[in-house]
Amino acid sequence: MSISTEFFDCIVVGAGHAGCEAVLAAARMGVHTLLITIKLDKIGHMSCNPSVGGLAKSHLVFEVDALGGEIGFNTDKTGTQFRMLNTSKGAAVWSLRAQVDRIAYREEIRKTIEKESNFIVKEEIVEKVLVEKKKVFGIATAEGMEYRAKAVILATGTFLNGLIHIGLDHFPAGRIDEPPATGLSKILSKLGFVLGRLKTGTSARVSGKSIDFSELKAQFGDEHPEHFSIKTENFNPEQSPCYLTSTNEKTHKIILKNLDRSPLFRGIIKGKGPKYCPSIEDKVVRFRERKSHPVFLEPDGRKTDIFYLNGLSTSLPEDVQQELLRTIKGLENVKIVRPGYGIEYDFVYPSQLFPTLETKNIDGLYLAGQINGTSGYEEAAAQGIMTGINAVLKIRGEQPFVLLRNEAYIGVLIDDLITKEITEPYRMFTSLAEFRLLLRQDNADTRLLKYGYRFGLVEKKQLERIEKRDNEVKNRIETLKKTIVAPEDINEILKKKNSSEISEARPLFQILKRPEIAIDNIEKITGNIETEVAKRVEIYAKYDGYIQKQEQEVRRMKELENTSLPLEIDYTKLRGLSKEATEKLNEIKPLTLGQASRISGVRPSDISLLMIHLKRLKGSGLHI
């Protein structure tokens, strides 16, 4: 029985990257919010590698920022190294990646959260979700407290029934030094949710003093680093290098010799691990022909001596970890501060969620982050802010906020989660976004700032600044299209850039479309253009034709997207659907024809049938 009861509008359980964004969005939108965490000083903790962004993930960071989230701004404040990846490719796949000071990141995000007035934080373990008539009304903690609210957001990460493996030893935990949330899994099962089990892993942390850097290749940040957030001004971070080394045949021999002590290969770990982030023992076994795998030594922060060994995720016993590390160049005398480990945890199959991340089963209950089967701080943050916003909209009785696949990576992420089967931890890739050319870092603000502003999460002056910039981009493009250059005015430039010369006058825009011509090259003709504008004008020129094609695809998709499917349809009663489609449709209960069409096993003919049934339903008032 509870000792006491307190009342809130919204409760966020978990203070990782999803929880932080959720609580900030909710509090900033003006609802009275409670944040509950197992360990207070671990708010915003990066439990895996100390970095934010990277391929496709950076797109998520830019988008969360445009909606008014914190992950980008906080990374800009605490980053120790910034690099733009993929610059040899086109703008759609450029990705910013930052090394982050783990401790500073935590301190900063905590400061930001504590500044909010609409919120309270508690250090407790949630044991119960309080539900009545399929509607959530609060939570109860192990400490016997009861907190009531209209909306509850669960962002519990790996803490659901977490089981850590180091060698053949295993013990229940959420993170290495924190207890797991065991009660919650049971409660969720009881509430009717279908749970699955996943696995992830992390590598050893070592003492920097014990590393011999003299022989290692250093990797520095960009000379002119870019930042994530529209809020960041006067960006001039002090950058520190990472170091590169690699495993060798000796390392691999040790791993192969000790496979019988690997919980992964002994079949003790049952959860499915991510294919894109395998453990070192997995890599060595699967790719035997490779004599070496790269290892990145990433500093944990400015004020600590600890280094993270990116590329060496493992669940081998500690003595084996030490033995294999010492075969690696630079690590001959290395001292492990904390061993790597594998962790298995429960997740809720996200097909049980609406696109708002509210559960279909329990009204007012939202799930965000790893609990939905995703991996990564960025994926978690994206879900966090979306649940925060949607919980408030729900409390206020307003229309939900859903981003479509053509609007944002966040839209792709959530639609994938609720539509596709999750068989391993989900992470973002640019190839998952079919409208990739439209969803870029550079236009995340153009795409999403208006929403952030609408919800009161972004200041008006930011919106105005971006609108002004975008207008300037538009005007510049128009001018370039109207500027006709004669051969004598441009051929010298073309020659210099090894580009074929022209024989008759043509629009400057056509010239800029050429891959080898940068906007700086034609500055003589265009005059000086502000960098932020010039960059975007050039992208539009390079993508001209392709963007239009993608927009056409979007229009085609919209038709299906705009047709909604009633939740109460019993698909087993629809004549003519294929068996596989019936099963999947009944399981996932898609909200639109568009979503239905993306379910694997649902065919175009099934969609045709659904259209007919819908029409019939509308026309007759009959039940189907």
Which region, judged by CB under 8 A, interacts with other proteins, from 112-120, 384-392, 560-568, 600-608? 600-608
* Coil/strand/helix, residue 4: strand
Kindly list the distances between the CA atom of residue 98 and the CA atoms of 51, 270, 443, 444, 560, in Å, as whole numbers in the listed order. Answer: 5, 33, 20, 18, 39
Q: Check residue 171 for interaction with other proteins (CB under 8 A).
A: no
If one counts every other C-beta atom within 10 angstroms of the C-beta of residue 123, the result is 16
Question: Which residue in 121, 130, 432, 518 binds other proteins (CB under 8 A)?
Answer: 432
- Cβ closer to other proteins: 59 or 106? 59
Question: Which residue in 257, 275, 302, 573 binds other proteins (CB under 8 A)?
Answer: 275
Q: Check residue 583 for interaction with other proteins (CB under 8 A).
A: no
- Cβ closer to other proteins: 19 or 590? 590
Kindly list the distances between the CA atom of residue 106 and the CA atoms of 44, 117, 238, 387, 422, in Å, as whole numbers in the listed order. Answer: 5, 19, 18, 21, 30
* Coil/strand/helix, residue 285: helix
Q: What is the CA radius of gyration of the chain?
A: 26
Which region, judged by CB under 8 A, interacts with other proteins, from 176-184, 292-300, 402-410, 489-497? 292-300
From residue 5 to residue 44, what is the string marking binding to other proteins with x (rule CB under 8 A)? Answer: ----------------------------------------
CB of 605 to other proteins, least distance (A): 5
Kindly list the distances between the CA atom of residue 387 and the CA atoms of 139, 140, 213, in Å, as whole numbers in the listed order. Answer: 17, 21, 44
Q: Check residue 86 for interaction with other proteins (CB under 8 A).
A: yes
Q: Check residue 166 for interaction with other proteins (CB under 8 A).
A: no
Q: Check residue 199 for interaction with other proteins (CB under 8 A).
A: no
Q: Check residue 259 for interaction with other proteins (CB under 8 A).
A: no
Q: What's CA 10's distance to the chain center, in Å?
A: 23
Q: What is the 3-state secondary structure (H, E, C) of 165-182?
A: EECCEEEECCECCECCEH
Query: Strands across the sheet with 205-207, in order?
Result: 217-219, 242-246, 294-299, 306-310, 205-207, 336-338
Q: Check residue 429 for interaction with other proteins (CB under 8 A).
A: yes
The Cα 246–Cα 217 span in angstroms is 11
The closest alpha carbon to 452, from 151, 230, 232, belongs to 230
The Cα 592–Cα 597 span in angstroms is 9
* Coil/strand/helix, residue 73: helix
Question: Which residue in 7, 171, 220, 287 binds other proteins (CB under 8 A)?
Answer: 287
The Cα 439–Cα 417 span in angstroms is 19
Q: Check residue 295 for interaction with other proteins (CB under 8 A).
A: yes
The Cα 31–Cα 395 span in angstroms is 9
- Cβ closer to other proteins: 356 or 550? 550
Of 537-566, which residues contact other proteins (CB under 8 A)? 542-543, 546, 549-550, 552, 556
Which region, judged by CB under 8 A, interacts with other proteins, from 35-43, 136-144, 339-347, 426-434? 426-434
> Per the structure block, which two tokens stand in for 58?
């950076």
Which region, judged by CB under 8 A, interacts with other proteins, from 162-170, 181-189, 361-369, 601-609? 601-609
3-state helix, strand, coil in the chain (%, to 5): 40, 20, 40
Size of the site for other proteins (CB under 8 A): 63
Q: Check residue 311 for interaction with other proteins (CB under 8 A).
A: yes
CB of 350 to other proteins, least distance (A): 15
Question: Which residue in 1, 132, 234, 286 binds other proteins (CB under 8 A)?
Answer: 286
Residues that bind other proteins (CB under 8 A): 54-56, 85-86, 88-90, 92-93, 97, 274-278, 283, 286-287, 290, 293-296, 310-311, 313, 420, 429-432, 434, 436-437, 514-516, 542-543, 546, 549-550, 552, 556, 575-578, 600, 603-606, 608-609, 611-613, 615-616, 619-620
